[in-house]
Structure 1
């Protein structure tokens, strides 16, 4: 079971979600998306909360309102963290999560600690939790199929972008060739390099003589 929430309306159309238990968390770790950002209460047990960003957004572009929604939600779903004030919440891109065979179910590490961010939740804000709970939807998604579909769409998009890049490069190549041809033609047509009929006549040579000399 996965629980889905809608972030505050003024932040835009963003989905926040989390697993119902540690086994579901394990699936979310395995089949996360590149746009996902993972949240967890630091040093104590809590739910694994994810925020799905839009294409092109990064962990450093998340607004304060979105961060607050995710932090409050992950604190509220921590047995110990929910009872404490000044709770530290860590968050990092899904791609930075590290899973090794020796780790327990639902346990993760990080590939790069420099990509981990931290924020402090001073206290639980019931107004935020109540608002989020009103949007909650429970689903049993096929996470593997969703990930495969996302990968296929990403691959198709990259193929389109590569095709467009090659088209632009070919157009630029043709345009450079055309400009080079124009410059070459202009060079041949420079007046100082051309011989007029008057110059031929003044040299005492006929056109036939000039052609014969050329041959």
Structure 2
């Protein structure tokens, strides 16, 4: 089961989502998308909240208001974090999450610490949390099937782009060949024109 929330503080609105428990979080870790941004309360237990970026969007493109919504949501869904003020929320791209043998269910580390960002939340803002909770929906998701479909569509797009690139190269080669043939033809015509007026005799010899 996954909980979905809609944040309309930016246009177009974005969807935030999280697993209902640590086992769902484990599936989200395993079958996340490269476009997913992961949020968590730093150093204490909390929900794993995700934001899925749009194609071409990067972590730097997330509006500050959306970051605030994600931070408030993850804080509100942390038993310890919800009671604390001045908590740090860490976030990073899904691909930076590291899972190794021996880790507890739902526990993660990072491949690159320098790619982990932090925002500080001074206190819970009920207006934000209540607004997001009003949009809350529950869905049963086949994480693996969703990821495999995403990858299949990506492969098809890449094949199409490769095909278009090959066709573009063929067109360019054809155009270059035609231009080379045209230059050769023009050169030949110019040579013929030059020799047209040369009959091999000295024009000053009238005998």
Relative to the length of structure 1, the TM-score reads 0.89
Structure 1: how far apart are the matches of 2:14 and 2:201?
85
CA contact (8 A) 2:91 2:118 kept: yes
Q: Summarize deviations over 1:71-123 as a string: whole Å, max 9, x none.
A: 11001111111111211111011111110111110000111112111111121
Instruction: Give the equivalent residue in structure 2 for 1:57.
Output: 57
Structure 2: unaligned runs, 5 residues or longer: none
Structure 2: how far apart are the matches of 1:202 and 1:46?
101
Structure 2: how far apart are the matches of 1:41 and 1:49?
10
Instruction: Give the equivalent residue in structure 2 for 1:29.
Output: 29
**Is 1:80 matched with 2:80?**
yes
Instruction: Give the equivalent residue in structure 2 for 1:199.
Output: 198
CA contact (8 A) 2:15 2:51 kept: yes
* Structure richer in helix, relative to its length: 1
CA contact (8 A) 1:88 1:120 kept: yes
CA contact (8 A) 1:40 1:91 kept: yes
Per the alignment, in what secondary structure is the counterpart of residue 74 of structure 2? helix
Per the alignment, in what secondary structure is the counterpart of residue 10 of structure 1? coil
CA contact (8 A) 2:22 2:105 kept: yes
Instruction: Give the equivalent residue in structure 2 for 1:141.
Output: 141
Structure 2: how far apart are the matches of 1:76 and 1:175?
62
Q: Summarize deviations over 1:97-152 as a string: whole Å, max 9, x none.
A: 11011111000011111211111112111111111111110011111111111111
Q: Summarize deviations over 1:152-180 as a string: whole Å, max 9, x none.
A: 11111111111111111111111111222
Instruction: Give how far 1:191 is off.
Output: 6.0
Of 2-11 and 16-25, deviating more is 2-11
After superposition, residues 1-215 of structure 1 pair within 5 angstroms as 1-190=1-190, 194-196=194-196, 198-200=197-199, 202-203=201-202
Q: Summarize deviations over 1:188-215 as a string: whole Å, max 9, x none.
A: 233697212x4317548xxxxxxxxxxx
Structure 1: unaligned runs, 5 residues or longer: 205-215
Instruction: Give how far 1:187 is off.
Output: 2.3
CA contact (8 A) 2:10 2:63 kept: no
Measured on the aligned residues, the alpha-carbon RMSD in Å equals: 1.7
Instruction: Give how far 1:45 is off.
Output: 0.7
Structure 1: how far apart are the matches of 2:123 and 2:29?
28
Q: Summarize deviations over 1:38-72 as a string: whole Å, max 9, x none.
A: 00010111100000110111111111111111111
Per the alignment, in what secondary structure is the counterpart of residue 40 of structure 2? strand
How many residues align? The count is 203
Instruction: Give the equivalent residue in structure 2 for 1:209.
Output: none
